[in-house]
Structure 1
Amino acid sequence: MTREPTAAQRRLIEAADPVTGRLRGGTQAQLAALVKRGLAFRHPRPPHDHFLTPAGHRAGEAVPEAVKPPAPPSTGVFAARVGGEDEPPPTGPARLREVRSAWEGLLELRRMTNPDGSVDRPCGWERAHLVRAAALALEAAGHRPAGGDEEGYRVRATPQPEAVAVHTPDPETLRACAATLERAGWQAGEYTEPRTRARYLLASPRRA
């Protein structure tokens, strides 16, 4: 059985960038220990930063609440907008910069973690965070998430493995979202909800 990360290792994992997995801080011995356990890797190019592997991301999600450090009132951590009434309006140049930076970071993560260095196919982090990954691809392409009375996309988890549902009342927007996800390396198809007859997308990360 694989040993659980130590408290110090958990703190490092929790402090990592949520999109790229870049580790912040930590001693060389601590970083080397994470690499040895397969939870992180050292980038071969200068400045030789350390990044979480897919196993490291999963370990971070599995950290018990009791050992997580309390979050400050405003952490400034980027979060993809999945579409919902409680989300703030996705407007303003600052948000555009955040989304662009997060998308560029995700492409870099693909390059570093996909075995063939491909950036046109989702990586392990995206498969472990399906809803956030699909929402980021949509927002980075300029689609608007739903919020309050505003129409837009809503990305939701599904019972199917490695699949998310994308809902929007406008058929043209639905087709545009499908095209965006396909360009981002996802497979997307339209389906009809049996009870409401509403059309929606079912999207999965492409493997090849």
Structure 2
Amino acid sequence: MPALPLQTSVLDDLAFQADDGSQQHMLHPESPRRAEAELAWAAVLGQRRLYASEEIPAPWELHQPVRAASLALEASGQQAAARDEYGRCVRAGYRVEGSGEPGSPRISVRIPDAWTAIGHDDRRESGELAEFCSQNLTLCALALDAHGWKCRVTDRGYASGSFIIATPRRA
């Protein structure tokens, strides 16, 4: 029996690209991105209903887990990290990327490079940065869990970088 081709989705054709935290800083913070993310998320929920239920990720999400997790985070109102034209982190937020585990994105919290620059040692020493990252990682895990993903938090401390490995919930 021949292999079936991967199903494409109306979501593949959307012009909206969820922010995975690797984007350059947006100059217009009052953009309609939140509304666009919510509209794209509504399309995901529609696809989920066709296949199983709103709680179980659809095939599109399984084949594009980084994009799907990014959309879930953005639609839930979480803030993505942003970079400047030189690649420096200029806005704290989540970063979604491949984890090396098929179908499971890795989510970390990035902080602006200026926060760790010389002269800001008090933030590192007081644990302020570690607490900030931990709180934001927890918010990301809660948002992903509410959007059909199971999260495993790996706590390696601030210096090594804690992260989440998200896996799609199964029926």
Report the TM range for the smaller structure's normalisation.
0.7 to 0.9
Return the alpha-carbon distance in structure 2 between the equivalents of residues 94 and 204 of structure 1.
29
Cα deviations by residue, 1:25-73 (Å, 9 ceiling, x for unpaired): xxxxxxxxxxxxx77xxxxxxxxxxxxxxx2229xx9xxxxxxxxxxxx
Q: How does 1:1-208 map to 2 (within 5 A)?
A: 2=2, 55-57=6-8, 77-86=15-24, 88=26, 91-114=29-52, 118-148=53-83, 149-169=90-110, 170-192=133-155, 196-208=159-171
Q: How many residues align?
A: 141
Tell me if structure 2 keeps the 8 A contact 1:83–1:154: yes
Query: Structure 1 residue 89: deviation in Å?
Result: 5.5
Higher relative contact order (CA 8 A, sep 6+): 2
> Could you tell me the TM-score, scaled by structure 2's length?
0.72
Q: 2:63 is matched by which residue type in structure 1? A: A
**Change over 3 Å in CA distance of 1:86–1:2 after alignment to 2:** farther
Higher helix share: 2
Return the alpha-carbon distance in structure 2 between the equivalents of residues 93 and 85 of structure 1.
15
Structure 1 unaligned blocks of 5 or more: 4-37, 40-54, 62-74
**Change over 3 Å in CA distance of 1:187–1:197 after alignment to 2:** same
- Tell me the SS of whatever aligns to 2:137: helix
Query: Structure 1 residue 76: deviation in Å?
Result: 7.7
Aligned residues: CA RMSD: 2.8
- Tell me the SS of whatever aligns to 1:157: strand
**Change over 3 Å in CA distance of 1:90–1:182 after alignment to 2:** farther
Tell me if structure 1 keeps the 8 A contact 2:34–2:77: no
Q: 1:96 is matched by which residue type in structure 2? A: R
Tell me if structure 2 keeps the 8 A contact 1:90–1:145: no
